[in-house]
Amino acid sequence: DAKTTQPNSMESNEEEPVHLPCNHSTISGTDYIHWYRQLPSQGPEYVIHGLTSNVNNRMASLAIAEDRKSSTLILHRATLRDAAVYYCILRGSYGGATNKLIFGTGTLLAVQP
Amino acid sequence: DAGVTQSPTHLIKTRGQQVTLRCSPKSGHDTVSWYQQALGQGPQFIFQYYEEEERQRGNFPDRFSGHQFPNYSSELNVNALLLGDSALYLCASSLYGLAAFDEQFFGPGTRLTVL
C-alpha cells in the first residue's frame, strides 16, 4: 500500500492560516490524494482531494508538489471548529492495492483562541 | 436530506456473542464501506459493498461478515466476539465507491464494548 507520512501534531492560532504537510514519496501516477478530518466524537469528514493540480473548495485548498511526492492542506483562517485529526490518504484505481481508504494516524491539529 | 445513519449508537456484548450493526447510506448512494476504529487509532477498512456484493476486504477475519440489501442499506455482523473487537464501527457511503476520486460520507458510528 502506498504510504503517507504526516506530523503527529500541529498547533495554530485562531484566524491564522494553517499548512498541514503530507509526504507520499511512493505515490503512483494514478493515485489520488485525499484529505479527511475527524472532529472529536464524530466520524471522519471528507475535506478535499486532488490528482495533479492544486484544488480549492469551500473548506480548504490542496497544494500538490510538481513531482506529486508531497502535498499540503491549507486552511485559510483556522477556527476553533477546525481542531481535529487530519488524515492524508492515497487512493488508487479499483482493483489496485491502494483503492481502499487506508487511514494512518493523521495529524492532530490544535487551534488556540 | 438525511446523511448516513447507523444503529444502534452504543452496544454492550460479552465475549463469544454475536452482534449485528446497521447502516443506512446517504440518499442516492449505492456503495457502503465499513471501518473499525480502536481508541486512539485511525479507522481500519473492513470491507466494501456495491451491488449487494462484497467488492473489497481489509485484513479482518471471517468472523466479520456483511450484507447489502436492495435498498443499499447494509449490515455488519461479527461472530464469536473477542475483547479486542471493542471499538467504534463506522459506516461510510458513496456514489462512486469504487472510483479513486470518490468522496465518502461517514456516519456517527456504533460504539461496541465487549466485556
Encode chain B (115 residues) as per-residue pLDDT tens digits.
679 999 999 999 999 999 999 999 999 999 999 999 999 899 999 999 999 999 999 999 999 999 999 999 999 999 999 999 999 999 999 987 788 888 999 999 999 999 9
A-chain residues near B102 (CB < 8 A): 91
**Nine-digit cell at A108?**
492532530
User: Which residue has cell 503527529?
Assistant: A8
Contact flag B42-A94 (C-beta cutoff 8 Å): no
Residue A1: per-residue pLDDT: 55
Q: Best mutation site among A27, A90, A101 for testing chain B: the one with the most B CBs within 10 Å? A: A101
**Is the pLDDT at A93 greater than 90, yes or no?**
no
Per-residue pLDDT reduced to its tens digit, A42-75: 999 999 999 999 999 999 999 999 999 999 999 9
Contact flag A43-B109 (C-beta cutoff 8 Å): yes
Q: What share of chain B is helix, strand, coil (3-state, %, to 5)?
A: 5, 50, 50
By CB atoms closer than 10 A (0-12, 13-18, 19+), residue B103 is middle
Residue A70: per-residue pLDDT: 96
Residue B36: per-residue pLDDT: 98
Distance CA B28, CA B94 (A): 9
Residue A15: per-residue pLDDT: 96
Residue B18: per-residue pLDDT: 98
Residue B99: per-residue pLDDT: 87
A-chain residues near B33 (CB < 8 A): 101
A-chain residues near B55 (CB < 8 A): 94
A105 in reach of chain B (CB within 8 A)? yes
Residue B1: per-residue pLDDT: 65
Residue B29: per-residue pLDDT: 95
When CB atoms are compared, the residue of A101, A104, A105 closest to B45 is: A101
> What pLDDT band is residue A2 in, cutting at 50, 70 and 90?
low
List the beta bridge partners of residue B36. B44, B89
Distance CA B11, CA A11 (A): 35
Residue B106: per-residue pLDDT: 96
When CB atoms are compared, the residue of B100, B101, B106 closest to A43 is: B106
